Amino acid sequence: MSDYQTMFEANRASWNKRTGVHKDSAFYDLASFKKGKTSLMPIELGGLGNVHGKSLLHLQCHFGMDTLSWEREGAIVTGVDISDEAIRLANEVRDELGLKAEFIRSNVYDLEAQLDKQFDIVFTSYGTIGWLPDLDRWAGVVSHFLKPGGTFYMADFHPVLWMMDESFERIKYDYFNTAVITEEISGTYSDRDAPIRSIEHSWNHPFSEIFAALIGHGLQVVQFHEFPFSPYNCFNKLEQRADGMWIISGMDEKMPMMYSIKAIKQG
């Protein structure tokens, strides 16, 4: 087994543990979702617009709340995640709600061996590409599954945010993808006191790497936005704005917290 495969297996085990905590957390509020509340944020809803009747592939979908929310918006959806427990729960929720989404347990890099379709939309969001070491390979997967003229859309946390320590007081990590970041993690962002511990491996990706990967695989970037807020209260030292978004306390919105990219596959 290669070093990367060993790291992916460690991350898969970690996300299996996280899923057990996340499903019962107020952060995910699965009960409200089951009653009809969307898990999608205005950023991605506005970025993709009307998806009715369109096929949508959701990469790194966790336990499928966003995938199923896109189905409720009218899309024909397929969700993919590396975690066995996340996909098991996604199928359970889908069946309980009488929805039709297909869920596949797979590392993104291995997906071509398990899925033989092309889609109108490929979507990924919030804490995804940092679990992947090679964005050129990732962008190749995105392009492979997109129809010519299809849309890729991502919303994720800003590379500058990932440079900082948990208190946002000093730079701890490299902006550039120079080395794997291996850490022992206690708890999870939905419950920092949860009784789980894991070894996790991640990679930081600068915008130059992200854009070069997408462009190199025939995707034309048509929209790029940066935001000084997070839709989620998933970091330390955050305070909530009147509009419900979360900002870093004491920063006066001077630091970017997230971004979105929309691109079209040429062909």
Kindly state whether residue 250 falls inside one of the protein's structural domains: no
| Contact yes or no for 155/258 (Cβ under 8 A) | yes
CA distance 3 to 9: 10
Q: What percent of the chain has pLDDT over 90?
A: 99
Residue for token digits 């039709």?
A: 100
Residue for token digits 């890729």?
A: 152
Mean pLDDT of 121-136: 98
Task: Give φ, ψ of 130 to 5 degrees.
Answer: -65, -15
* 35-61 pLDDT per residue, tens: 999 999 999 999 999 999 999 999 999
* 195-236 pLDDT per residue, tens: 999 999 999 999 999 999 999 999 999 999 999 999 999 999
Q: What is the pLDDT of residue 223?
A: 98
* 131-181 pLDDT per residue, tens: 999 999 999 999 999 999 999 999 999 999 999 999 999 999 999 999 999
- Other Cβ atoms within 10 Å of 69 Cβ, number: 20
Kindly state whether residue 239 falls inside one of the protein's structural domains: no
CA distance 1 to 136: 22
| Contact yes or no for 78/119 (Cβ under 8 A) | yes
pLDDT band for position 78 (50/70/90)?
very high
CATH of residue 39's domain is: 3.40.50.150
Closest C-alpha to 167, from 229, 233, 238, 232: 238
pLDDT surpassing 80 at residue 185: yes
Buried (b) or exposed (e) across 217-226, using 16+ Cβ within 10 A?
Answer: bbbeeeeeee
SS3 72: helix
| Domain, as residue range, for 52 | 3-155+206-229+260-265
Q: What is the pLDDT of residue 267?
A: 84
Kindly state whether residue 182 falls inside one of the protein's structural domains: no
Kindly state whether residue 16 falls inside one of the protein's structural domains: yes
Q: What is the pLDDT of residue 249?
A: 97
Cα radius of gyration (the chain): 18
CA distance 93 to 115: 22
CA distance 2 to 90: 29
Quick one: which H or E segment has residue 48?
helix 42-48
Kindly state whether residue 171 falls inside one of the protein's structural domains: no
* 8-42 pLDDT per residue, tens: 999 999 999 999 999 999 999 999 999 999 999 99
pLDDT surpassing 60 at residue 1: no
The total domain count for the chain is 1
Q: What is the mean pLDDT of the chain?
A: 97
Mean pLDDT of 238-257: 97
